[in-house]
Every structure is written in structure tokens, then in C-alpha cells.
Amino acid sequence: LCETAERVRNDIRIAQEFEWLQFEDKTNTNPKTAGLMACNKRKNRYKNILPFDCTRVVLNNIDPTIPGSDYINASFIFDDQSSGLFIAAQGCLKATVDDFWHMVYQENSRIIIMVTNEIEKAKIKCVRYWPDYGLTSLVDGRELTNVDETSTGDYVIREFELEEDPLPGRDTRRLRKIFHYQYIGWPDHGTPGDPASLLDMLAQIDTTQKTFQYPGPPVVHCSAGIGRTGTVIVINMLINLLQLKGGVDEKDVPQTVQKVRCQRGGMVQTEAQYRFIYRALVVYMKRLREQQLTQQKNENQKMDYGNIDVINKMLQELDVEPPDDKPPLPPRD
């Protein structure tokens, strides 16, 4: 009974938090003048989803005679707590494919996370901005080759090679590796039922990102670049925070969402997506607890539940489910 009450209390709290976040988001009056310029209209997928001027990614070395040519609908998202940096972008339109690759090259991004299908409910959500497996296409004047493509159940991993500028005085051809992770298990207008495969993908991305010496920010995009993109970025930030601080508490979730929304309006679009962040964190922490328990068993150590207690406490604050390895209650008489 106690657990049910806790669950209901958490449920209500989460709904109230989201309501408060929606209200706060509406009061944000950061200007969006670049996105509103007439010459940039055709570069926005949705006219109501524009980047703030203060955080938008400005394209460099473009043609100064073409007005608005430094514009792309994408925003830098910085996390001061874990020093994480991301780019949140809308899904490419035909007119913005070259700009997209210009941005990826300029920012030295090595990971692209795509959280949408190209077509959903018979509507185009993002144009295919990469070549098919084994093929090469020309993007923003550079050769881009799709050298590998593997599919797990819920996501596809592609490996691209993007032609680099030659070093001054040399003409050797250099190629830059870029990894593309497309999560396809996210039904439109909803959330994935189970966060497990998304967490697997994020863990794999983290390992890949660490293989590069000075990688730029991962680019995350869906269709509008706010709903699913915001959810993925916030989950990523909270996991980083957890690893860094050794814990997160119930304030961290709304605070992180609010921080992210100040950098791109409307990030995490629905209450279901907001709830999904909590679910993902809970599953992540349960995995952590499993890992620690097996590690302790394998090392044949004296059981030290220090960390496990911290995890259980976090689970209680965040979760709607009770921890499943509690000792059974003594029988009552």
C-alpha cells in the first residue's frame, strides 16, 4: 500500500513539474530573428520551431553576398554541470542538406544521432541526407561515403567517411570518420515502451565518442529537433551527471529540462516524453545496481551495499516501481 501511495505521489509530482515547465517555457522571450528572416523561411521545417539567436549554430565561411547564408535551424545545448555539449537540429529538408554537412564539418562532430524515421504516417519527417551503403555522394562540395551499415533491432549504425580539406602545401586525400546512429524504435507522437535499447545505443555512442581525440559535439536531430531530440539529450546529460556526481536527485530532472529549454524552446515536447526520462533513469540505475551486485559476487568480496543503498534511495525518489531485491518482510502474526 505504501508503495502504491509513493507511486501515485511521484506520478502527481511529475505531472505538476511538467505543467510548471510548460509555463516557464512560454515566458521565454529570447529573440529568434535569424530564423524569422524571409530568406530563411524555406530552411525551416516547421514555422513555429526556430532556434534562439543566442544559441543558434552560425555557419562560417559562407557567401557574404547571400543573405541569411549563415543560418541553419540548429542550436548548441550546453550542460554546465557535466560540461557536456550537443547540437540539437531539425531533420534535413532538401534545401538544407548541404548546410547540415557544412555544420557537421565545421563543428567537427563525429556522431550524428537521428531519432526519427524518414517517413512516419505517410509524412516526410526528414530527407535522406546520406548515401546508401557502399555509395558516395557529394555534400557541400565534399565526397561522403557510406562504408558500413549494421542494424540491431531498434537502431541502425552507419559509418561514413567525409572528405577533409587538404593540409596546406599537401595534396594527400584525408578522410574523416563520422558515425551515424539512427534510432528507429521510437513511434511517432509517442515514446519507446522500454528505454533499454535506447540506453544500449547511448552507451555505445559514449564508447565511440571516446575513440576520438578532440571530437566536436554530437549532433542530435529528429523532425522538429525538440521532442525526441530534447528527450535524448536530457537523458544523456542526466547519465553524465550521475556518473560525475555519483547520483542524481528529483530536482535534477526538471532543472535539466528547464536549462535545455532556455537554449532551444520546447525541448521535451510532451508529458509522456518527460515521464520517459524518469523511466530511462530508473532502468539505467537498475542496471548499475545489477552490475555492482555481480561484480561483488565475482570478486568474492564481503558484500558492501554502500553504493547499492544510494541507488535504492535514488530509485525511490525517481521511480514508480519499488526496488526488486529487498529482503522479504518478516511475517506478521
Binding site for ligand PTR (CB under 6 A): 46, 48-49, 116, 120, 125, 188-189, 222-229, 269
Phi first, then psi: give them for residue 86, nearest 5 degrees: -135, 165
Told to judge if 262 belongs to the known catalytic residues of this protein, a careful annotator would answer no
Q: Which amino acid is at 120?
A: E
- Residue 87 or 288 with smaller CB distance to ligand PTR: 87
CA atoms within 13 A on the CB side of 21: 27
Q: Are 254 and 20 in contact (CB under 8 A)?
A: yes
Q: By C-beta, is 73 or 116 nearer to ligand PTR?
A: 116
| Bridge-based pairing state of the strands 123-124 and 84-89 | unpaired
Query: Alpha-carbon distance 57 to 44, whole Å?
Result: 14
**Dihedral pair phi/psi, residue 13, rounded to 5°:** -60, -45
Q: Residue 260 or residue 315: which is nearer to ligand PTR going by CB?
A: 260
Q: Which residue number has the CB closest to ligand PTR?
A: 227
Q: Please state whether beta strands 142-151 and 136-139 pair in parallel, antiparallel, or not at all (unpaired).
A: antiparallel
**Which of 2, 92, 222, 262 is labelled catalytic?**
222
Nearer to ligand PTR, 43 or 289 (CB): 43
Smaller CB separation from ligand PTR, 226 or 235: 226
- Cα–Cα dist 242/86, whole Å: 18
For residue 147, give the nearest of 134, 136, 137, 156 by alpha carbon: 134
82 and 101 Cβ atoms separated by less than 8 Å: no
CA separation for the pair 278, 197 (Å, rounded)? 15
Residue ranges of alpha helices (H) inside the chain are 2-26, 33-36, 97-106, 196-210, 227-245, 252-261, 271-298, 306-318
- Give catalytic residue positions: 222
